Amino acid sequence: MRGFFITGTDTDAGKTWFMLKFGEFLLKHGCKFHFLKPVESGCWNNPSSLGGKKILFPKDAMLFSNLENVPLNKICKYMFKAYASPPRAAEMENKSIELEEILDFIETNINKDENCYNLVEGCGGLYSPIANNKLTSDLAIELNLPVILVVKNVLGCINHTLLSIQAIKKSGLNVKFIILNNINEETVLDNYNELSQFTNIPIIRLGFNQELDSTLLNYIN
């Protein structure tokens, strides 16, 4: 499988926002891609067209579905209401989720075109729980894809970034590049220069509500 595994330094680092911008970037440059977000927590209850019955609505995966123009069930399978780790959210609904099930879903739904980038989003950070007794790192190791690390550009992110890099390397994986993500319109403390002193991994800036720079093409092959 060709593609990338996208993880963050923490929850709400901006993985989904980056993936949407990455998808737009790939479209602009004529590249094929397929989103995979096998598990989403914090889903909304949304009245369906079937008699007002409430169904869970995975807002992030739906954005991916709309951008890629593929059915939602090709992107996301496991949807939970609680804004919590997937195994805890599943337990709150008297359900369970196993890593093997996630892997089966990914294997069934990947785009096998060698020219297509499969963009797989994990949950939270690398050591966030994703299934019963399993961490996001366990999923990343099984997929063995190059990792894109999304970093929230705030005070403390250097520590979080370097620890995440160390954890990724310990898992036998490689960080392809780092996305330094400005989650606010005004960034009080820009960490680009200081972070660059401590790693040779390419760092790509993603400004607030901005597009990815075309130089990213140098790092995706």
Catalytic residue (choose from 21, 37, 74, 152): 37
Contacts of residue 81, defined as CB under 8 A and 6 or more positions apart, other chains included, come to 41, 42, 43, 45, 56, 89, 92, 93
Tokens of 80: 């939970």
Tell me if residue 37 is catalytic. Answer: yes
Classify burial at 196, counting beta carbons within 10 Å of its beta carbon; exposed 0-12, middle 13-18, buried 19 or more: middle
Question: Do 32 and 116 form a contact (C-beta atoms < 8 A)?
Answer: yes
**What Cα–Cα distance (Å) separates residue 171 from each residue in 2, 12, 39, 81, 139?**
19, 22, 21, 30, 11
What one-letter code names the amino acid at 108? Answer: T
Euclidean distance between CA atoms 192 and 11, whole angstroms: 20
What one-letter code names the amino acid at 184? Answer: N
Residues with a catalytic annotation lie at 37
